[in-house]
Structure formats: C-alpha cells, structure tokens
Structure 1
Amino acid sequence: MSTKNLVVKTLNELYDLMGLSHSVIDQSSGFSILYLQDLFSEYPVSSIPFRPNFFSFLFIKDAFGNYTIDDLNFPMVPGTVYFTNPGNFRRFEWHKITDTCLLVFNESYLKEQVHPDIYREFSFLLTETVEPRVLTPEQFVIIEELYTFIYREHHGQSPYKNKVIGSSVVTLLLKIKEYFFQDYNPIYEGNRSSQIVKTFKQNLEQHFRDLASGKTDTQLRVQDYADKQFLHVNYLSSVITSKTGKSITAWIADKTIAEAKVMLQDKSMNIKEIAAKLGFLEASHFSNYFKKHTHQSPADYRRQLV
C-alpha cells in the first residue's frame, strides 16, 4: 500500500506514526475532543499523507497552515471549520496554532451515542468531500460555545456525560448543517469516482437500515453493490479502494460491527436474534466474525456496557 493509501484507525495511531506525544487523547469510547495548542509546541508540524477511518471536525479560531483533502488544497485561517469523513486522503501542515479545537469520532460512536439512524438526518456525513467554510464571527461564536461545552463534559466526571455529549453533538451537527448545507446541491458532487463512492456509501447504509428493520435478512456481496450501480465488480472495487484506501469488504466489516454494537445495547435481543438480523445464518458465525474484528465476543462486549 502506498503512503497515500495509508489508513489510520485512530488519532492516536496517526500521532504514533508521526512520532508525536498524544497523552491528552483518549479515544477508547470512539470519541475525543482536544485543543491542538496543547499538543504541538514546535512549528511547523507536517503530517504524513493518510486516510482516516474516523470523522473529524476542525474548528480554527486562531491558527495558520495548509490542509489537503483529496486533491484539493486549502489554507487554514481563523474562523474556519473543516469536516472530513472516513476515506478522504488528507495531509496537513501547521505554521502556528493559538486556539484550535479538533473533534473526532467513529461511526460506532455516532450509532451508539448520537442516533442509530444518524445518516437520515445528517446525510452530509456521507458526502465525499466537503470544502471548508469560513464562518461569520457570529456563527463561529455559536459553534465555539457548543464545542467548548462538549470539551468540558468530555473531561468531566458526570455519570451522564456520554448522553449529554451525544445530545450536544446532535446540536453541533444541526448548526453545521445550517451553516454548510443550506445551498448544497447533492445532485452534483465532484467527479465520477466521487459519485460512485458516495452512492456506494448510501447503498451500504440503506442495506443495513433494511437489515435492522427486518426488510431483508440477507447480506449483500460485493457483486451486489456493483450491480446496484451497473458497474463491473472489479471496477467498483478499484474505485472504492483508490478513493478511500479501504476495500469494499473492509467497509462492509466496519458497518457490520458498528450496527452490531448498537444492537448489543438492546438487552431484549439475544445474540442469536442479532446474528439473524445482520444476515448471519448461525449465531456462531456472527460471534466469530465479531471477535475477529473487535478481539472480544459479543457476550463480552455486552457485559462491559454500563
């Protein structure tokens, strides 16, 4: 795999690869929020080229640098908000940071703590590339109030902090939707490859929505996703891998585990029922699959839930 196709699962992994200390980052819940001025002390700071396996928002109150998303390069200036989702090629260089907040989360966190049907309300999370937006001072003040509150809760000890943060993230996403997407046209987005990736993600999400609702009990194969776009399976596989750094099977696996974790929170469903809902013919097959990707059994995962 080329450096440009290096997929990193967490922010900790990225900073490890860059040789940076990251003791202030805790992504054990699939969510983290931090101020970058607490992390970097010497400039410039340049990242390796990478593709994250997580979502991120970057709120730049006062900083300067450059940011690359796919083949687009943008200056990082005060008052800017950046959003990127899993699969985007990224590279950044910081020249100076005075006040900048980074919020990162994975799909499992969204499904578990924010909303199980997150993409219906916030379809922009599936968007291939979202250009950064310079907000008005009034807009940025509102966004800053939200991420400052989330930061305090994340580093606090409230027994309800996961629910409080989840609700606050909904509010933050609604304001992002208001400021970024009032004039967004989903019909046109980037080139043909971008459209193929976006459609694949939408088809993947819809299929797992159908599984969860009982509309289907059959897992889709890679060939099925190719057929939905009238593409040769090799071409679809090539586009997805080259554009996101992840294979289709990896996308399917990540989605399966994210949905399984949500269902395991529902104690009224036994593991056999969850396996059937996700299209597994045998509960043992599901358990082995879950353990392969998470290093713990579904029963062990369920027992650790608060």
Structure 2
Amino acid sequence: MLSLKDPSSISYFKDITALLKALRTFTPQSNLFHIHKHEEVPETHSAETQIFRSDTFSASFLIEGAAEYKIGLQEYTMQEGSFYFMSPRHLRYYKKTKPWKGFVFLFSTEFIRQFSTTDIYTEYPFFEIDANVQLQLNATQVTQLNELLTELLQIYQSHEKDKIPLLYHYVSIVLLLSKKWHREQHPTVTNNTKKESISKAFYDLLEKHFFDIATQKAEYIFTVADFAEHVHISANYLSNTLKKETGKTASQIIKQRTILEAKSLLKSTELTVSEVAYFLKFQDSSYFSKYFKSATKLSPSEFRDGK
C-alpha cells in the first residue's frame, strides 16, 4: 500500500486529458474516447502510480507483460492474456512489473450517452465497485480481442470526420463480448436490473452522491429524506418502493453503499481508520467503527488485516 497522510491526497482526475497527462502518456483527441498501444507510450510514462480515482471508464489488455493492481476492493496480478476494467467507482493503483504490450482504451459517460440511455453499470457489471474486474483470456479470445482493438485503434487514428459512431460500435462489441466472457468466468455475478423509474433515479443519485463524497464535493452522506427530496417523493414511499423491488429499504441500501466505499478505502490505502471516517463524513471515528462492525461483524482494522 501507499502511505497517505490525509484523505485529500488521493488524486482525482476529472477527464481523460487530465488522467493521461498525470500518467505522462498521450494527449487524447477529445475527452470522449482514447485508445493507444501499451508498447508505444513514451519513456516518461509512470511505471507506478499513487492511489487515484478518475471520472473515466477504461479497459486494459495485456498481450505481454505483468503488473500488480489494486482496483476497487481487490488486488490483482495482471499477466499475459489479462483484460481488466476500471470505472469512476474504483480507487485505482498499479505497478508495472514487466514491460507491457497490448492496448488500453478510455471513454467517458458522455461517449456512451450519445448513443444509449442504458445504465452502464447495469449492462456491464464488471464496472461495479465490488466486481471481479479481471478476465483471463484463452488463445482464441486473445486473437479475437487483438483484432478488434487493432481495428478500433485504426479508426481512432484515421481522419474520418464522423468516426465517433464507429468507435462506439466497436467499443460496444468489445464490451458485449467481455460481458459474455465475464459471465462464463464469474458465473455467480448477477445483473440486478432496476426497472422502475423511482429505483433507477435513486440508484443514479446514490452513485452520483458517493462520487461527490469520493472527490470531496459533498459535506455529508445523504439521509433517506435527502434522497427522497431529490426524487420528489416521501421518504416512506421511497423505502417502500425499494423494499418491494430489491428486498432492502433505502436506509439499508445507503448503508451497504457506505460500507463498500469504506472497504475500498481500507483495502486500497493506508489511511487510518479515523481518516477513513473523516473521508466518509463521519464526525466520530468510534461511531464509524461501530457502524462498520454492525454491517460486517468485523472492526475496520480487522477487515483491513483480513481477519
């Protein structure tokens, strides 16, 4: 883990340009989409990062090479044939351990929303904060993905004026294939659809709110009443609706999401328990510890130590 003296030292990059500049790689054509080959990055590229979060989605494919990663709640060893995913919900860190060959592409929420209103986390669960984000591809899959990403890069580097729809088409194919492979490799993962508009509005607002917390834009964690006010219904009606559709009340879902964020910070950083509590807007670290233990049966320190 990296030593961090205070929560604000977790770097945040608002778009693709800011992230690639910090990593000392390339200047993207826009903040909608970017792709490059790992082996073509400048020598100034960072071989090891600090803990960071970015308001971008990305997928990285290693044909050769290796790296140690922390993404969300888990640690990974990436190797030849690894294909892995990151989203704005993930804290991220990596250390390159062998030279890389392959591809990485990044895209924004706006890139997807130009063509689809589908919730990306619902459609592609490997972008979720608690998902297993790693695929280990066989030889046939490696060849198939390599061909798709080679074509995607060629389109990106072309001078066609209307190439954004083509880029989206290829990205969609890659993500749909990845969804199939992810289901095969991680069959216990289920896709929890949130069909009703109230539930969708709540979940969308929940994730936006926690992103604001993660980037230090929110002053406190919303209560059920706060969420209900934002979706223009009563707190009781919101909880009853969610209970019918998900089996959990609004307060239970908020607590579950808070615990996920706490777990991510405890596993991905060396923030003290008090600093994690402060980061998540708890005024009292002892109350945070009780709150955490009531949900996990472990204290924050015990969870961090893997007990």
Measured against the shorter chain, the TM-score band is 0.5 to 0.7
CA shift for structure 1 position 125: 5.3
Structure 1 SS opposite 2:114: helix
The Cα RMSD (Å) is 4.0
Q: May I ask how many residue pairs the two structures share in their alignment?
A: 225
Match of 1:36 among 31, 35, 38: 38
CA shift for structure 1 position 169: 1.2
Distance 2:71 2:182 in 1: 17
State yes or no: 1:185 paired with 2:184. Answer: no
Alignment of 1:1-306 (within 5 A): 2=7, 5-17=10-22, 20-22=23-25, 24-26=26-28, 28-41=30-43, 45-113=47-115, 115-117=116-118, 119=120, 122-124=123-125, 127-128=128-129, 129-182=131-184, 183-186=186-189, 203-205=202-204, 219-220=230-231, 227=239, 228=242, 229-231=249-251, 235=255, 238-239=258-259, 242=262
Instruction: Note the alpha carbon deviations across 1:134-153, whole angstroms, 9 max, x for none.
Output: 10010111111111111110
Structure 2 SS opposite 1:117: coil
* Change over 3 Å in CA distance of 1:236–1:180 after alignment to 2: closer
8 Å CA contact retained: 1:6, 1:50? yes
* Change over 3 Å in CA distance of 1:134–1:232 after alignment to 2: closer
CA shift for structure 1 position 94: 0.9
Counterpart of 2:59 in structure 1: which amino acid? F
Distance 2:20 2:47 in 1: 11
Unaligned runs of 5+ in 2: 1-5, 193-198, 207-228, 243-248, 266-278, 281-307
CA shift for structure 1 position 60: 0.5
Q: TM-score, normalised by structure 1?
A: 0.60
Structure 1 SS opposite 2:99: strand
8 Å CA contact retained: 1:5, 1:244? no
Distance 1:107 1:152 in 2: 22
Partner of 1:292: none
Distance 1:32 1:222 in 2: 40
* Change over 3 Å in CA distance of 1:206–1:139 after alignment to 2: farther
User: Percent of aligned pairs with the same residue?
Assistant: 15
Q: TM-score, normalised by structure 2?
A: 0.60
Distance 2:254 2:132 in 1: 27
* Change over 3 Å in CA distance of 1:223–1:86 after alignment to 2: farther
Distance 2:59 2:234 in 1: 34
* Change over 3 Å in CA distance of 1:145–1:234 after alignment to 2: closer
CA shift for structure 1 position 100: 2.2
